[in-house]
Amino acid sequence: MELSDAFAQVVEKHRKSKGFSRSFLAERAGLHQTYIGLLEKGHRSPNLDTAKCIAKALGVPLAKMIEQSERILKSH
Amino acid sequence: MELSDAFAQVVEKHRKSKGFSRSFLAERAGLHQTYIGLLEKGHRSPNLDTAKCIAKALGVPLAKMIEQSERILKSH
Structure confidence at residue B38 as a pLDDT band (50, 70, 90):
very high
Give the number of residues written for chain B.
76
ipTM of the complex: 0.93
Give B6-35 pLDDT, tens digit per residue.
999 999 999 999 999 999 999 999 999 999
Alpha-carbon distance of A13 to A20, in angstroms, equals: 10
Helix, strand and coil content of chain A, in percent to the nearest 5, comes to: 75, 0, 25
How far A23 CA lies from chain B's nearest CA (Å)? 22
- Domain coordinates of chain B in residue numbers? 3-74
CATH superfamily, domain B3-74, is lambda repressor-like DNA-binding domains (1.10.260.40)
Q: Angle B17-B24-B13 (CA atoms, 0-180°, nearest 5)?
A: 25
Do residue B2 and residue A69 have CB atoms under 8 angstroms apart?
A: no
Do residue A63 and residue B61 have CB atoms under 8 angstroms apart?
A: no
Give A15-37 pLDDT, tens digit per residue.
999 999 999 999 999 999 999 99
